[in-house]
Amino acid sequence: ELKCFDGFKSGRSDPSGIIGSPFVCRVKIALKLKGVEYKYVEENFRNKSEQLLKYNPVHKKVPVFVHGDKPLPESLVIVEYIDETWNNNPILASDPYQRALARFWSKFIDDKIVGASWKSVFTVDEKEREKNIAETYESLQFLENEIKEKKFFGGEELGLVDIAAVYVAFWIPLIQEIAGLELLTSEKFPNLYRWSQEFLNHPIVKESLPPRDPVFAFFKGRYEGLFSSK
């Protein structure tokens, strides 16, 4: 049995596990790419289920992927496991160097872009916000230089870095609109912006993304609540 836990987390300032989680979305894209059927389990973070605590006792958050009765947490770990378990439509290249590069850039996205861009919007302190905006620009420039004229980060087909960067393509435009920022634009990052449109229009990605309106409404409510209480 395959299970993919998703959920709604309230009262936290990080994007892991909130409605329309980018991390859960990564797993959905990988499963859809491989044509794997799975059972989707909704998780309520106001009242965490015994199953979630059993399957992910370390972090107690989604996504959790359960294959048979073997649980795996952490989206990038899960995506690699899916790639190694189902051989069709490879997500990672066969060349060891290209595989290593893909892992590097995927980790770069989590370490350098997710947190900084999130804090660029959902931080009350103005100096802290400006610092994170500058860090986000710098990190997006590295991705801009990496994608160059390529269709996807690995070439002609979706790969690990593209899947990891779903946050960049879908969530950054959403939160920057809420805050009136310009983090990812065609003027500032033409190659990366072109990639984001190509990626979002890929049939498998389109089927895997959460509906934009409720996700936008949720974040907008959080943003307004944060600054109204300032």
Torsion of CA 147, 88, 76, 150, to 10 degrees: 0
β-strands 39-44, 2-8: how paired? parallel
Reported as a pLDDT band with limits 50, 70 and 90, residue 212 is: very high
Reported as a pLDDT band with limits 50, 70 and 90, residue 52 is: low
Q: Taking 50 as the threshold, does the pLDDT of residue 6 lie above it?
A: no
How many C-beta atoms surround the C-beta of residue 34 within 10 A?
17
Q: Please tell me the predicted confidence (pLDDT) of residue 67.
A: 85
Q: Please tell me the predicted confidence (pLDDT) of residue 32.
A: 94
Reported as a pLDDT band with limits 50, 70 and 90, residue 152 is: very high
- Note the pTM of the prediction, 2 decimals: 0.88
Alpha-carbon distance of 125 to 128, in angstroms, equals 5
For tokens 């799975």, the residue is: 38
Which 8-state DSSP code applies to residue 155? B
β-strands 70-73, 64-67: how paired? antiparallel
Q: Taking 50 as the threshold, does the pLDDT of residue 16 lie above it?
A: no
Q: Taking 70 as the threshold, does the pLDDT of residue 169 lie above it?
A: yes
Q: Where are the domains positioned within the chain?
A: 2-85, 96-228
Mean pLDDT in the chain? 86
Mean pLDDT computed over 54-81: 78
Mean pLDDT computed over 90-104: 97
Which 8-state DSSP code applies to residue 50? H
Of the listed ranges 71-75, 153-157, 177-181, 212-216, the one predicted with least confidence: 71-75
Alpha-carbon distance of 141 to 191, in angstroms, equals 10
The CATH class that applies to domain 96-228 reads: mainly alpha
Q: Please tell me the predicted confidence (pLDDT) of residue 12.
A: 32
Reported as a pLDDT band with limits 50, 70 and 90, residue 83 is: very high
Q: Please tell me the predicted confidence (pLDDT) of residue 10.
A: 29
Write the pLDDT tens digit of every residue in 131-151. Answer: 999 999 999 999 999 999 999
What CATH fold (topology level) applies to the domain 2-85? Glutaredoxin (3.40.30)
Q: Taking 60 as the threshold, does the pLDDT of residue 3 lie above it?
A: no
For tokens 């944060």, the residue is: 226
Q: Please tell me the predicted confidence (pLDDT) of residue 228.
A: 82
Q: Please tell me the predicted confidence (pLDDT) of residue 197.
A: 98
Q: Taking 60 as the threshold, does the pLDDT of residue 2 lie above it?
A: no
Alpha-carbon distance of 47 to 36, in angstroms, equals 29
